[in-house]
Structure 1
Amino acid sequence: MTTSFNQVGAAKLWPEINFPFTLAPMVGLSHVALRSLIQDYMPLEAITYWPTEMLNSRRLPAQVVGETPETKRTERDQYLVPQILGNDLKYIGPSLEKLKDINIAGVDINMGCPVSKALRHNYGVALMGEPEYAWKIVRDTKSCSDLPITVKLRAGLDFLDSQIEQELFFDRFTDGLMEAGADLLCLHPRMASQKRKGHADWSQIKRLKERSDIPIIGNGDIQVFEDALRMLEETGCDGVMIGRALTARPWMMWQLGERLGMSAPLGREGEKAPSNPHEEAIEYGRALKKFVTYCFFFFDETFANKKIKFYLRVSHMWLNFGHSLCKKLVKCSTEAQYHEKLEEFFDSTSLKYSNYTDLSY
């Protein structure tokens, strides 16, 4: 099956973009090593935009941007759109100035982080509880930068009594973001209290798209490439942002590219993307080896180990015997040790990779 799309919504902001799928900004994950891994699986001609981890606007002004683990980039991060966590232009403005040093393509404002710390300190999804203030942040950010401003948000907080009231509030809130100058919205259609539990209500993405004049990106409950294509079809959204499943299944970009009639990734010419549980399990082993190499290339040994262990923690669940893999690697500390253990573990014909796993943790 080949699927084609006449337009990619993000191309309205960055005309060269031709691929409607991108990685989500995730704390501890969306760093240069993971982006490099996923880029290895991109169709040869595919161009998309790339996130960073969530960056704290209160810390950025004092940092050497481009040298911290969270802000390192490569030439392959062609359209880099850092995600800013903040609620005060006093810090956001200087942060944007600093980020110019790494030639960013835009900036994303986080209005979706649902953790309790964000709610206590009035940033992330807490900004949805103060619409006027949230709109002011977008206006002020827009006033100090000529770059596209995007906003990632959730379906809302839980202070209204009925679904109708919630929908009216959400419509008013998103209208205000657009009027304030937001160039693109990305919606994860869960309430703040749900965090990762329950199901993402894709109908809310469809509603937002139908009443918006700017690109709308959908996010939530994507685990296999068929989910991403289905979200595009069912919601009419302009693109799909994929989180932890793309971390664990970076070859999903290759699978999606095949459905769009695009070429295989560089170095995989003439091959087909993994298409069954055993092929995907073997590819996970290849991806892990690449990820280990990238982590030791970009980071010092201590930080590389931290990132590798965290990657395993959020990606092993799709693999049968994933817990055994984690145990096998727990004492590794050097690149050579990881590669030796990975060679041993993946030299098995009984490994399988599942399509779905529980993401509510």
Structure 2
Amino acid sequence: MAKPEGPSWHKFNELVQLKALLAPMVGLSHVALRDALRPYFPEDTPTLWTTEMLNSRRIPGQRLGETPETLKSQQDINLYPQILCNEERYIQDSIPKLEEWGAKAIDINMGCPVKKALKHNYGVSLMGDIKYASQVVSCVKKYATVPVSVKLRAGLQSDKGFLLEFCHALKEGGADWLILHPRLAEQKRKGSADWSQIRLLQESIDIPIIGNGDIQEAQDITRMLEETGCQAAMLGRALTAKPWIITQYAYESGHQLNEYQEAIINKDPSAHAVLYGEFVKSYIEACFRYYDFKDALKRIRFFLKVGHVWLNFGHSFSKKLFKLETLQEYKEAIDQFMSNSSLKMSARTNLRY
């Protein structure tokens, strides 16, 4: 269908000029990862920077900018927090605080399938009641002055008719755009994402649609945009291993790169393992810069667990680093490991989940 122009479209196009975004990921989409990723994004092209999933019940009693999930750097602009929410008494206090903290848009999580979220009727459990989910969106819009989006899954059942009805209700509730990860709740991170469902939303809902799922290479971004017609693609765990995906896509889509980014583009793929090592070092440095010792180690080890699967001999790499505790130890171990010229990064892996 032809997409109309309107407030949602104007604001989306203002905030998202690079059609590739970091996905909100628990334990990953925090200040250290944003810092480590930023050199791979074109400098003068606006994008939204997501956070970890935040709980609206906790936000009113927190000092944002001091909790581990809400720490931010001076370079953190266009912040895009994702929240779990379903009760007005918490929403009315959370949204103004998030905007004061720096939120330029707010995303409501209706896709998290973990038991802890389901227990409180958060996440994908909201997809069980269309009217209730729409009311949650309306409630957030009531207190927000910035755009409000919803990130959702294919649902609780394989029913495209239900998905469309649900998404139309979100739009009527005030959602400015939608993000679809087209897997069922029961699939969690397994199986293949059904991109045809992204196209279905794009053709049926007159607000911007962001696609999410199974992007592991730069060409996947282009392919998703072309096959589905969606307005942007959202990348998750692959960015913990191959941040140059963003740089490559930016180059291929005509964005201006700086000297460092041009050097990345010109690297032979055989050098990507070394580039991964440098990225890991920058991430570890950021963790120690922002977090206390215990929290830094927790985030470093989870990051390694997620990202090492794209590196051949990645298990050995991750196992070796898991034993370390200081920045100097990490740097020396990474340099030593990456001196092996036979190391390669995989284009794709089925082990990412």
Q: Mark yes or no: TM-score above 0.5.
A: yes
Q: Distance in 2 between matches of 1:15 and 1:44?
A: 15
Residue deviations 1:38-87 (CA, integer Å, cap 9, x gap): 11111232221011000011111111101111111123322111000121
3-state SS of the aligned residue for 2:52? strand
Residue 3 of structure 1 is matched in structure 2 by none
1:301 is aligned to 2:300: no
Q: Percent identity among equivalent residues?
A: 49
Counterpart for residue 4 of structure 1: none
Q: 1:312 aligns with which of 285, 304, 312?
A: 304
Where in structure 2 are the equivalents of 1:1-361 lying within 5 Å?
Answer: 12-13=11-12, 15=14, 17-158=16-157, 166-265=159-258, 268=260, 270-273=262-265, 276-359=268-351, 361=353
What CA distance in whole angstroms lies between the structure 2 residues aligned with 1:209 and 1:64?
A: 38
Cα distance in 1 for partners of 2:9, 2:338 equals 38
Contact 2:182 2:194 survives alignment (8 Å): yes
Q: For structure 2, which runs of at least 5 residues remain unmatched after alignment?
A: 1-7
Across the aligned residues of Structure 1 and Structure 2, the Cα RMSD in angstroms comes to 1.7
Matches of 1:15 and 1:262, distance apart in 2: 16
1:269 deviation in Å?
A: 5.8
Hey, what's the Cα distance between the residues in 2 that align with 1:141 and 1:272?
41
Deviations 1:18-42 (A, max 9, x none): 2110000000000000011111111
Q: Distance between the aligned counterparts of 2:347 and 2:283, measured in 1?
A: 21
Q: CA deviation at 1:327?
A: 2.0
In the TM superposition, residue 274 of structure 1 has moved relative to its aligned partner by 6.1
Distance 1:193 1:108 in 2: 22
SS at match of 2:348: coil
CA distance in 2, matches of 1:64, 1:121: 23
Give per-residue Cα distances to partners, 1:170-220, cap 9 Å, x unaligned.
111111000110001000011111111111000000010011111100000
Work out the CA distance in 1 between the residues paired with 2:154 and 2:9. Answer: 21
Specify every segment of 5 or more residues in structure 1 that has no aligned partner in the other structure, as ranges.
1-8
Structure with more helix by fraction: 2
Distance 1:155 1:348, change over 3 A: same
* Distance in structure 2 (CA, Å) of the matches to 1:224 and 1:215: 23
Measured in 1, the distance between the counterparts of 2:24 and 2:173 equals 23
* Structure-1 separation of matches of 2:278 and 2:190: 31
Q: Contact between 1:305 and 1:333, CA under 8 Å: does it hold in 2?
A: yes
Q: How big is each residue's C-alpha offset from its partner over 1:286-320, in whole Å with a ceiling of 9 and x where there is no partner?
A: 10111111111111111111111110000001101
Partner AA of 2:314 in structure 1: G
Amino acid at match of 2:59: L
CA distance in 1 between partners of 2:16 and 2:143 (Å): 25
1:16–1:105 distance in 2 versus 1, CA, 3 Å: closer
Aligned to 2:3: none
**2: distance between equivalents of 1:316 and 1:69?**
24
Tell me how many residue pairs correspond in the alignment.
346
| Counterpart Cα distance in 1 of 2:13 and 2:78 | 8
Distance 2:27 2:240 in 1: 11
Aligned letter for 2:338? F
The C-alpha deviation readout for 1:127-174, integer Å capped at 9, x for no partner, is: 00011111111111111112100000011102xxxx5xx122111111
Report if the CA contact (8 A) 1:301-1:334 is conserved.
no
Which residue identity is paired with 1:194? Q
Contact 2:180 2:209 in 1 (8 A): yes
Q: Which has the higher contact order (CA 8 A, sep 6+)?
A: 1
